[in-house]
């Protein structure tokens, strides 16, 4: 995966990026840290990650992941919101308010941070972080 870089810290990850991607990922990192301060930033699988998550699925699969993640891919930035509730995956509920993003179950893909409505993005991050705190 293009978004996986060899970095030990979030600062090292961001430092390896080229402009204008570097500024967008740095701004997104700052936004996540501000909106979700309880989620510890770290590197997981070569991506920026926030809030360690140990999971065990109904089928018995078990592993370690993160609640929120960011990856700089070749053609877009991926924002992973690994949270769901009674009404489904959190990220999917933002398809209409983030129309310039390609949104899957837990992934929001976009070319430029400026393409996204900042109020909706903050709300999405906050909701993902709140789901993490409840987990």
Residue 1: pLDDT band (50, 70, 90) is very low
Distance CA 113, CA 20 (A): 10
Q: Let me know if residue 2 belongs to a domain.
A: no
Q: Let me know if residue 20 belongs to a domain.
A: yes
40: containing domain: 10-134
2-36 pLDDT, tens digit per residue, is 557 789 999 999 999 999 999 999 999 999 999 99
Q: Let me know if residue 32 belongs to a domain.
A: yes
Number of domains in the chain: 1
CATH number at residue 63: 3.90.1150.200
User: For the whole model, what pTM was predicted?
Assistant: 0.91
Residue 132: pLDDT band (50, 70, 90) is low
Q: Let me know if residue 116 belongs to a domain.
A: yes
């Amino acid at each position: 995966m293009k978004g996986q870089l060899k970095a030990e810290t979030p600062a090292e990850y961001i430092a390896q990026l080229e402009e204008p991607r570097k500024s967008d990922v740095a701004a997104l990192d700052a936004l996540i840290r501000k909106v979700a301060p309880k989620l510890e930033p770290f590197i997981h699988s070569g991506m920026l990650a926030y809030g360690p998550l140990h999971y065990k699925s109904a089928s018995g699969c078990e592993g370690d992941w993160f609640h929120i993640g960011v990856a700089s891919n070749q053609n877009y930035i991926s924002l992973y919101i690994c949270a769901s509730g009674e009404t489904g995956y959190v990220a999917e509920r933002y398809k209409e308010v983030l129309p310039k993003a390609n949104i899957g179950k837990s992934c929001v893909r976009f070319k430029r941070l400026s393409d996204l409505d900042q109020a909706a993005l903050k709300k999405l991050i906050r909701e993902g972080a709140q789901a993490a705190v409840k987990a």
